[in-house]
Amino acid sequence: MKDVFKSTQIADKVHWVGAIDWPVRDFHGYRTTRGSTYNAYLILAEKVTLIDTVKAPFVDELLARIASVIQPDRIDYIICNHAEPDHAGSLAKVIEAVKPQAVFASKMGARALQQLYRLDCVQAVADGQEIPLGDMRLTCAETRMCHWPDSMVTYLHDRQLLFSQDIFGMHLAGYERFADQVAPRVLDEEAAKYYANILLPLSGFVAKALDKLSAMDVPLSIIAPDHGPIWRDEPRREAPNRGKSRSEHRIVASYARWARQERTDKAVVVYDTMWKSTDLMARAVGEGLAAGGARARLLPMSGSHRSDVATEILDAGGLIVGSPTINGQMFPSLADVLSYLTGLGPKGLVGGVFGSSGWSKEATKQLQAAMEQMEVELVGPPVNATYLPTDKDLGDCYKLGLDVAARIAR
Ligand code: FEO
């Protein structure tokens, strides 16, 4: 395989040796429309070091890419920045093939690797610990809960290169290894989707991780995450009061914005319909939002995936939900998406509820309870229609849109 699956050099003596998962479409509930990559990196220092591995089914691809550069048994150290199976699922097999002198992880990582894979050979490194590689050196920095308690990043001083594990990643399969080779629209979409679906509930930890990286006071010429393309070639600026050149990566600025959960004038209407009554109400809400100056996005759950809804809500100011009542319940699609969104925990939303029913109104009561659990600030009581919405019902939906717009439009 090594004559087919080759490495990509990303810096002097640093190679990408990961795997490309073209067909994957589900990542624990997140629809990965464009596939993914599991990135691993080989540092050809005096102590040859492998940073992370890949999902278990891709171990041969990883070993082949390593073998295209160096015999795998020349690897001295393996560093596991994150124990989740998409990065450490093949670690046991790689250790068996390589027989490294040492395997390093964070303290929580060493514990997780034992609990997940029964690996007892992992040495725990302290937060901030340096690992000398002979002619190069790495520093490890814990980034707990970005994405799991074990998560850490490693910084290669000699190349100003941060191995950032899940942070700054995206699910995007491709042969383009660098972000500047990918269409900006695709980068923006997939980076936001990744943050919304993986890191949003951990935004407080993300903010701490960004502060920690900033406090390390090191230049970041290259950011190499564990998924998707590698960030390089960003514009530079002179850092005030420091008198030295600093990198300014757009992805870092985006993370700072997302971690603050900055809201915009966008309002998302998430709904489903049985006989088109709730659909008609949703469209009346949308007209009211637009008339009030908000940017309305209607997402019928018949054609929307929960992970796309989460992405739209990442920077939205408004969330309005609607459902018919079926068998005394909200539609299953609404129950699914609201359960998912409650887990992601977006903050600072303004919203409302609407729905139609024949002889009972359970759906809107359940929607309201779900929105209150999510701490969405409701602008008024639910709008209910019986069977077919009347002109008054549609007027109330229009007003609901206007009222939400009044709170978020600029
Ligand atoms: Fe890409 Fe948290 O694993």
The domains of the chain are located at 8-259, 266-405
Task: Give the CA distances from residue 279 to residues 316, 363, 389, 394, in Å, rounded to whole numbers and listed in that order.
Answer: 21, 15, 10, 11
> Does the annotation count 147 as an active-site position?
yes
To the nearest 10°, report the CA torsion of 7, 11, 14, 20.
Answer: -40
Pocket of ligand 1, beta carbon within 6 A: 82, 84, 86-87, 147-148, 166, 226-227
H-run or E-run covering 130 = strand 130-132
- pLDDT at residue 39, as a whole number: 98
Closest-CA residue, ligand 1 atom 1, reads: 166
Residue 61 a catalytic site member: no
Q: Residue 132 class from Cβ within 10 Å (0-12 exposed, 13-18 middle, 19+ buried)?
A: exposed
Phi-psi domain of 387 (left: phi exceeds 0; alpha: psi -120 through 50; beta: other): left
Q: Fold match between 8-259 and 266-405? A: no
Task: Give the pLDDT confidence score for residue 11 in this predicted structure.
Answer: 97
**Ligand 1 atom having least distance to the Cα of 226:** 1
Task: Give the per-residue pLDDT at 233.
Answer: 65
For helices 391-408 and 277-291, angle between their N-to-C axes, nearest 10 degrees:
40
Cα-to-centroid distance, 336 and ligand 1 (Å): 23
CATH of segment(s) 266-405: 3.40.50.360
Q: What letter would DSSP give residue 329?
A: E
CA–centroid distance, 82 to ligand 1, in Å, is: 7
Q: What is the pLDDT of residue 248?
A: 75
Strand duo 161-165 + 152-156: pairing? antiparallel
Distance from the alpha carbon of residue 114 to the mean position of ligand 1, in angstroms: 17
Given the residues 52, 61, 86, 403, the one annotated as active site: 86
Ligand 1 atom 3: the closest Cα is on which residue? Answer: 84
Residue 171 falls in the annotated catalytic set: no
Measured from the Cα of 148, ligand 1's closest atom is 2
What was the pLDDT predicted at 222? Answer: 97
Cα 372 from chain centre: 25
Catalytic residue among 84, 142, 190, 234: 84
Out of 21, 30, 117, 147, the active site residue is: 147
Please give the number of the atom of ligand 1 that sits closest to the Cα of 198. 2
Q: What is the pLDDT along the chain (410 residues), one digit of tens a residue?
A: 879 999 999 999 999 999 999 999 999 999 999 999 999 999 999 999 999 999 999 999 999 999 999 999 999 999 999 999 999 999 999 999 999 999 999 999 999 999 999 999 999 999 999 999 999 999 999 999 999 999 999 999 999 999 999 999 999 999 999 999 999 999 999 999 999 999 999 999 999 999 999 999 999 999 999 999 999 965 444 444 444 445 579 999 999 999 999 999 999 999 999 999 999 999 999 999 999 999 999 999 999 999 999 999 999 999 999 999 999 999 999 999 999 999 999 999 999 999 999 998 999 999 999 999 999 999 999 999 999 999 999 999 999 999 999 999 98
Distance between Cα 86 and ligand 1 center (Å) = 6
Amino acid at position 191, single letter: A
Q: Closest by alpha carbon to 82, among 51, 56, 125?
A: 51
Whether 11 contacts 159, CB under 8 Å: yes
Indicate if 82 belongs to the active site: yes
- Domain spanning 8-259: CATH superfamily: Ribonuclease Z/Hydroxyacylglutathione hydrolase-like (3.60.15.10)
Out of 41, 117, 194, 195, the active site residue is 194
84 is catalytic: yes
Identify the active-site residue in 28, 120, 175, 391: 28
Closest ligand 1 atom to residue 166 Cα is 1
Q: Look up the pTM and report it.
A: 0.95
Q: What are the angstrom distances between the C-alpha of 259 and each of 161, 196, 210? A: 23, 10, 9
CA of 21 to the centre of ligand 1 (A): 14
